[in-house]
Structure 1
């Protein structure tokens, strides 16, 4: 299950992420609650904050993929994390001094979104450089496991810490935790990285990446499915504070507990993905089934009558969500050429995160117009339908069979065995 941790460079990265991700989730909960408080519990304001944080992805992620193929990814990540540290400090100081206004938070959301638009495709493509192609699936799953372990610990800490000391100190704590990532990156041995061929600066590299994906119908299908699920289904994370405050009438600790219950499912799913990553390569069927189950669980959770039942319904939803995300990520990373990985991951991140400027405000609007539960049953229905449609498309391309893997040289199995 932990085979990729035998690689020293990845161990350093993994250790830094354990600490930093807890701080990141503490900040995310604190930021959402700060926006909700400053706006008078307005769900639309929360949607706007989400949109502002992810709009830069629409503008920069494709270019960031090109940049990741050209430059030293390790050094670029160190610079990005330093800027993230500064953003957290600024937000913390504004909050602690009592001068924070909604527009301050919005501006810093744009700042964080800008660095994230560059960081995510760089970090995603850097995974293969740290561990090599054979360990990518396991490393991707372990990354998700620590991310979701932090999602359990971070919101639980944040929910109670906000009640005790307010939101400001949580931003400062995140700034301190970022130092762990920077330290891990600095201690790596660059000579032990599995780097692909250097990609010199040249005109048309962005267009080359788009043509590469367009010429791969299998990749296009994955990207389309990812867009619909991430834009309409996985936006339930944004709905949690709305449900906690406006549906079940709880405080920040109630929101933190709901986030923790999601994380119980995602953490368990990530560990299961890590175990599969040691024994086998990612499969298309698993991606499609997990996307469909995500939609079904989300739709069902929307109708849970009590706070406890709703919270328990989030656990299988989190499991299906992380299984889908990990499988799609590993399928893409293991099926592309090393010299194209940064650009393909830039496109992947665009469809994964780029829909949030649409989904964020839409979630707030739906909650305001149709009730706090509506983003769950609408997003769940769209996700399940998208999974079925993409499965039909892949089956038609292969007759009555589905591909086990993406890319050239993939193996085909009879439908009943895939």
Structure 2
């Protein structure tokens, strides 16, 4: 298959630009917030609360967002999502003005940041399903796997550069002007989005009662063993194996590398994932996808254990890099499963369930990491998470033996034949 098939469609290239700008801005913003909050509090639990503030609205709104996405036109819905993010980033820009920081109590600033993160969780509950649904309206079915890989790779590129630049921008221009840069990228994404035409609504059940619609989406996901297995495995791995939320603690108090080192640590897993994903455009990983997913998550857990034990900066960077490379395999497999096995009229709802299982587990994992770090120490919490991830792989392999045999090659060939 042509590794550049999806890139031959103009609107898909514009879509990638929009996605990159948004992921770049969002990931950079999260890093700047983490740095600012830990600087204000010196409490790892406060980093967990950031994740909790985003996961509560993201989970509670996710299914309703999926229903709305399946009922509405996708391009304009994404426009409103980006506009909402822009308002939030502008609010963070205002609250980080040095004169405002000096005049307000620390608690007031902290609670305002938490409130804006909470609003961001609402926006995120819509943006994931909207993007997932829009891809299928831009490219033909026969190149869904290729498009999913490029989309995931672009996501990772944004996640690489956003944290890396955040570390350097905090060091050189400060938190306030870093927030200004984030706001500028969100506006650029909004402008670029208008170059994509509005898309038709493919749902044959427009106006369907909301609870009937939600029930249909949940029933589909829980009856599809491939989708359910991939989501469950990734959710638990991310929930227990994520050390990312504690990187500001490692940077400041364990490795002593400052803001620039923090940016390198935060970018390392995304660099690894981006390399894996770009490689998968030329060397697809559809065959024996189940085994590859299980092995990738097992290796991810080992990397987290090494990172937790390490007190050497470059060993820590290497462990995070390898964890990202393995996580990239997991992401490509999961996104390919979702694109190939989800009907067009249910993409919003299925993507919303995905956001509950996987996307929100990042923030819930941040809360779990903050709590365990408070209770057992930062390094021990990361090691514990790695052990739980490996245990999860073993249980999944034993309980769902059919998942080990999952192979997507036939599904890919069927979609190619349709066009």
TM-score, structure 1 length as denominator? 0.89
User: Are 1:219 and 2:227 an aligned pair?
Assistant: yes
Alignment partners' CA distance in 1, 2:69 and 2:286: 28
- Residue 167 of structure 1: SS of its match in structure 2? helix
* Paired residues of 2:78 and 2:131 also in contact (CA < 8 A): yes
Q: Which has the higher mean CA deviation after the structures are superposed, 109-118 or 164-173?
A: 164-173
Match of 1:17 in 2: 19
Match of 1:157 in 2: 165
Alignment partners' CA distance in 2, 1:383 and 1:325: 16
Shift of 1:295: 1.3
Pick the aligned partner of 1:300 from 296, 306, 318.
306
Match of 2:257 in 1: 250
Report 1:181-260 matches (<5 A): 181-190=189-198, 196-203=202-209, 204-233=212-241, 235-260=242-267
Q: 5+ residue gaps in structure 1?
A: 412-418
- CA offset digits 1:270-290 (Å, max 9, x no partner): 21232245x857822222221
* Paired residues of 2:29 and 2:182 also in contact (CA < 8 A): yes
- Residue 308 of structure 1: SS of its match in structure 2? helix
Shift of 1:179: 2.1
Q: Which has the higher mean CA deviation after the structures are superposed, 77-86 or 255-264?
A: 255-264
- CA offset digits 1:32-87 (Å, max 9, x no partner): 11111121x21101110111012111101111111111111111000110111111
Alignment partners' CA distance in 2, 1:127 and 1:25: 21
* Paired residues of 1:291 and 1:320 also in contact (CA < 8 A): yes
Shift of 1:376: 2.3
Alignment partners' CA distance in 1, 2:313 and 2:252: 11
Pick the aligned partner of 1:402 from 397, 405, 412.
405
* Paired residues of 1:332 and 1:406 also in contact (CA < 8 A): no
Report 1:312-327 matches (<5 A): 312-327=318-333
Q: 5+ residue gaps in structure 2?
A: 102-108, 415-419
Pick the aligned partner of 2:186 from 171, 178, 186.
178
Alignment partners' CA distance in 2, 1:216 and 1:151: 30
Shift of 1:2: 2.6
- Residue 355 of structure 1: SS of its match in structure 2? helix
User: Are 1:140 and 2:148 an aligned pair?
Assistant: yes
* Paired residues of 1:394 and 1:402 also in contact (CA < 8 A): no
Q: Which has the higher mean CA deviation after the structures are superposed, 202-211 or 261-270?
A: 261-270
Q: Which has the higher mean CA deviation after the structures are superposed, 101-110 or 379-388?
A: 379-388
* Paired residues of 1:335 and 1:406 also in contact (CA < 8 A): no
TM-score, structure 2 length as denominator? 0.89
* Paired residues of 1:137 and 1:281 also in contact (CA < 8 A): no
Match of 1:376 in 2: 382
- CA offset digits 1:289-310 (Å, max 9, x no partner): 2112111222222222311211
Match of 1:360 in 2: 366
Alignment partners' CA distance in 2, 1:410 and 1:4: 16
Alignment partners' CA distance in 2, 1:215 and 1:261: 37
- CA offset digits 1:1-32 (Å, max 9, x no partner): 33211111111111233334333332222111
Shift of 1:97: 4.4
- CA offset digits 1:105-163 (Å, max 9, x no partner): 00100011110011112212222222232222222222222222233322232212212
Decide whether aligned partners of structure 1 residues 171 and 66 sit closer, same or farther in structure 2, where only a CA change above 3 A counts.
same
Shift of 1:407: 10
RMSD (Å), alpha carbons: 2.4
Q: Identify the structure with the greater helix proportion.
A: 2
Decide whether aligned partners of structure 1 residues 406 and 118 sit closer, same or farther in structure 2, where only a CA change above 3 A counts.
farther
- Would you say how many aligned residue pairs link Structure 1 and Structure 2? 403
Q: Which has the higher mean CA deviation after the structures are superposed, 21-30 or 159-168?
A: 21-30
Match of 1:271 in 2: 278
Pick the aligned partner of 1:102 from 110, 114, 120.
110
Alignment partners' CA distance in 2, 1:409 and 1:164: 47
Alignment partners' CA distance in 2, 1:338 and 1:320: 29
- Residue 148 of structure 2: SS of its match in structure 1? helix
Decide whether aligned partners of structure 1 residues 323 and 394 sit closer, same or farther in structure 2, where only a CA change above 3 A counts.
same
* Paired residues of 1:265 and 1:316 also in contact (CA < 8 A): yes
- CA offset digits 1:250-270 (Å, max 9, x no partner): 321121111122222121112
Alignment partners' CA distance in 2, 1:34 and 1:159: 12
Alignment partners' CA distance in 2, 1:199 and 1:34: 46
- Residue 98 of structure 1: SS of its match in structure 2? helix
* Paired residues of 1:284 and 1:406 also in contact (CA < 8 A): no
